A = this chain, B = another copy of it.
Amino acid sequence: MQPIDYADASPEVRAVYDDIMASRGVTDVNNFWKYLANDPKGLRRTWTSVKEIMAPGALDPLVKEMLYVAVSASNGCDYCIASHTAAARKAGMSDAMLGELLAVVGMANETNRLAQGYRIPVDAQFGGPKD
């Protein structure tokens, strides 16, 4: 599919683009939204969910963006790593913070496989079966 620019977008799509640009203080939307616009209902639904999930709450937006980077690095999604690393930097992530984040992501992926490969049963204190 091809990306849909603002000039070529339907009123329904433009309304979403306008809200993204206003919420983020940018003058154009990035490629993710332009491709998703091929499915206008999906565009609206995804933006509504992202906006609600990434808003300040029990976790602050920087922590949320770092969680997003962690999952994207773990999945190996190039586009997602690139765009959310940029978003996290904008929200205050330093080089040292990114280095530590990736160190945790790497270690978690290592120990996840050790836990699975050794077939380790969940301890009783973590909710596993009592002996």
Q: Give the segment of A5-13, A14-22, A37-45 that binds chain B.
A: A37-45
Q: Are A78 and B122 in contact (CB under 8 A)?
A: yes
| Count of chain A residues with a beta carbon within 8 Å of a chain B beta carbon | 78
Q: Are B120 and A32 in contact (CB under 8 A)?
A: yes
Q: Which single member of B1, B96, B112, B116 contacts A118 (CB below 8 Å)? A: B1
Interface residues of A in 90-126 (CB under 8 A from B): 94-123, 125-126
Q: Are A63 and B66 in contact (CB under 8 A)?
A: yes
Q: Which single member of B36, B53, B78, B108 contacts A68 (CB below 8 Å)? A: B108
Residues of A that sit less than 8 Å from B by CB: 1, 3, 30-32, 35-36, 38-39, 41-42, 45-46, 49-50, 52-54, 57-59, 63-64, 66-86, 94-123, 125-128
